[in-house]
Amino acid sequence: MKQTPPKKTPHQPPAEGEAPRYWECPVCGYLSADPAFGGGDTKCPLCGAPSDARRMWPPERQRKLDARIRAYQADGEDEIVVILVATFLEALLEDILDRIMQTRGADASVRAAVLDGQRAVGIRIGRLFPTLTGEQFEDAAAELGFRDFPHRWRQMRAVRNAFIHDDPYEGVQETISPAISADAMQLLDQAYKLFVSINNRFVASATRAKQAPSPA
Contact residues toward Zn ion (CB under 5 A) are: 25, 27-28, 30, 44, 46-47, 49
Total residues belonging to the chain:
216
CB of 51 to Zn ion, least distance (A): 10
Compute the C-alpha angle 66/84/182, nearest 5°: 80
> 94, 119 in Cβ contact below 8 A?
no
- d(Cα 14, Cα 194) in Å, to the nearest integer? 18
Of the two residues 31 and 83, which places its CB atom closer to Zn ion in the complex? 31
Of the two residues 104 and 157, which places its CB atom closer to Zn ion in the complex? 104
Of the two residues 21 and 152, which places its CB atom closer to Zn ion in the complex? 21
CB of 92 to Zn ion, least distance (A): 21
For residue 19, the 8-state DSSP code is -
- d(Cα 206, Cα 102) in Å, to the nearest integer? 11
Of the two residues 22 and 153, which places its CB atom closer to Zn ion in the complex? 22
Relative orientation angle of helices 60-74 and 78-103, to the nearest 10 degrees: 160
CB of 191 to Zn ion, least distance (A): 23
CB of 199 to Zn ion, least distance (A): 12
